[in-house]
C-alpha cells in the first residue's frame, strides 16, 4: 500500500527556520516525483514544486522559487520542504503528494503556524 506520512504540526516565530518531512512507503521512492502543495487558510491549492528523489532534479513554481527549498534523502525515502526565515504569511497547510502524470497519492498534511 502506497503511503505518504508527513511530520506533525509546527508553531514557529517569524524569522525562524523550519524543515518538514514526507516519508514514502509501499513503492519505489526513487522512481516517482514528489511534490509539495500549499493551502492557506480558507484558500485553494497552490503547486509549489517537485523533486525526483532518484537524481534530486527539482523544479519550482515561479511563485515559490527562492522562498523555499525542496530536498530528498532517498536512503530513508523522505522528502523535505524547508524555510530559512519564516514569515507570518507562510501560515498554511502543506501537503506532499506523489506525482505520476498528476498527483495520485497524498500525505495527510502538515499545519505550519507562524506567529509572534
The count of chain residues that interact with other proteins, using the rule CB under 8 A, is 23
Binding region for other proteins (CB under 8 A) out of 10-18, 20-28, 45-53, 73-81: 45-53
CA 9 to chain centre: 13
Separation CA 45–CA 38 (nearest Å): 6
Dmax (CA) for the chain in angstroms is 41
Site string for other proteins, 46-65 (x = CB under 8 A): xx--x--------xxxx---
Tally of CB atoms within 10 A around 44: 8
Q: Work out whether 32 is an interface residue with other proteins (CB under 8 A).
A: no
The site for other proteins (CB under 8 A) is made up of 35, 37, 44-47, 50, 59-62, 95, 97, 100-109
Amino acid at each position: 500500500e502506497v503511503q505518504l506520512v508527513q511530520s506533525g504540526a509546527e508553531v514557529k516565530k517569524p524569522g525562524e527556520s523550519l524543515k518538514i518531512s514526507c516519508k514514502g512507503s509501499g513503492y519505489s521512492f526513487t522512481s516517482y516525483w514528489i511534490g509539495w502543495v500549499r493551502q492557506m487558510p480558507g484558500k485553494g491549492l497552490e503547486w509549489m514544486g517537485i523533486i525526483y528523489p532518484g537524481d534530486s532534479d527539482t523544479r519550482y513554481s515561479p511563485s515559490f522559487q527562492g522562498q523555499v527549498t525542496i530536498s530528498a534523502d532517498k536512503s530513508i525515502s523522505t522528502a523535505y520542504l524547508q524555510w530559512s526565515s519564516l514569515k507570518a504569511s507562510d501560515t498554511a497547510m502543506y501537503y506532499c503528494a506523489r506525482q505520476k502524470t498528476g498527483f495520485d497519492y497524498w500525505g495527510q498534511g502538515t499545519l505550519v503556524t507562524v506567529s509572534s
